[in-house]
Amino acid sequence: MYRLDRRQLLGSSAIALLLGSETARAAIVKGGLPWKPGSGDPPAAVTPGGWRYFTAQEAATVEAFVDRLIPADVLTPGGKELGCAVFIDRQLAGPYGRFEGHYMTGPFQQGTKQQGPQSPVTPAQHYRQALATLDAACRSKFGGKVFADLSDDQKDETIKGLEDGSLKLGGTDGREFFKLILKDTQNGFLADPIYGGNKDMASWKMIGFPGAHYDYRNWIDRHNQRVALPPVGINNHPDWSQ
């Protein structure tokens, strides 16, 4: 680590840090392609157990919710067993949950639909607010029961109320939260299992996506034939653990 001076700007080779602070990553590339071992940046696999963002009560609500969006049936296990709630929890605890990378400078003001979302409320904050008001709404409607304690029919009725806007959440439109949790649940269901959902690549097996295979040159010409390769993910292959 060293401070910039002209001699270093002129005399550096391959790659050199311009400034000493850890955040300043400005560099000079010169003389050859910069390369150092171990410079890859693979995703960290989600570790099971516990909640990183949700409270126990929030987690129970989300597990119940994802289990209705992705119900257990002949096609796959339910959303809870597949890890969709864990997926959402880990996402909310990370960059996604805090709108990292978004332009977050004000003034914040509502625009047209075409101008896109303008709210400063992050996904993590959105869940916290909406889950609390969802349970409050369920309590008043279903004799004191929270969402997780409802029957499947009552849960579906509640979700439909959010979807069509008839169920308000603390004065706000429940549709926005419905769209958010639906998108997050389906992303967890369909994304690579390394992020905590889509356990055993259940959704990929259901639709016939063989996963992240690197090379389909042997298949491009085989028109209208089912690809007979086992599904594979970034961190797991059904055969690797056997």
Under rule CB under 8 A, which residues in 159-198 are in contact with another protein? 159, 163, 182, 185-187, 190-192, 194-195
Does residue 114 bind another protein (CB under 8 A)? yes
Site for another protein (CB under 8 A): how many residues?
A: 87
Among positions 214, 228, 239, 240, the unique one binding another protein when judged by CB under 8 A? 214
Task: Find out whether 230 and 237 touch, Cβ atoms under 8 Å.
Answer: yes
Which position among 140, 224, 241, 242 is part of the footprint of another protein (CB under 8 A)?
Answer: 224
Cβ 161 to another protein shortest distance, Å = 14
Residue 25 contacts another protein per CB under 8 A: yes
Token pair for residue 73?
Answer: 């049936």
Find the binder of another protein among 115, 140, 241, 242 (CB under 8 A).
115
Interface stretch with another protein, choices 22-30, 46-54, 130-138, 143-151 (CB under 8 A): 22-30
Tell me if 103 contacts another protein by CB under 8 A.
yes
The answer to whether residue 18 forms part of the interface with another protein (CB under 8 A) is yes
Residue 23 sits in the site that holds another protein (CB under 8 A): yes
String of contacts with another protein for each residue 38-77, x by CB under 8 A: -xxxxx------------------------xxxx-x-xx-
SS3 for the chain is CCCCCHHHHHHCCEEEECCCCCCCCCEEEECCCCCCCCCCCCCCCCCCCCCCCCCHHHHHHHHHHHHHHCCCCCCCCCHHHHCHHHHHHHHHHCHHHHCCCCCCCCCCCCCCHHHCCCCCCCHHHHHHHHHHHHHHHHHHHCCCCCHHHCCHHHHHHHHHHHHHCCCEECCEEHHHHHHHHHHHHHHHHHCCHHHCCCHHHHHHHHHCCCECCCCCCCCCCCCCCCCCCCCECCCCCCCCCC
Rule CB under 8 A: say whether 1 interacts with another protein. Answer: no
Binding part of the chain for another protein, among 28-36, 56-64, 128-136, 169-177 by CB under 8 A, reads 28-36
- Residue from the set 144, 215, 240, 241 that interacts with another protein by CB under 8 A: 215
Q: Does 109 bind another protein (CB under 8 A)?
A: yes
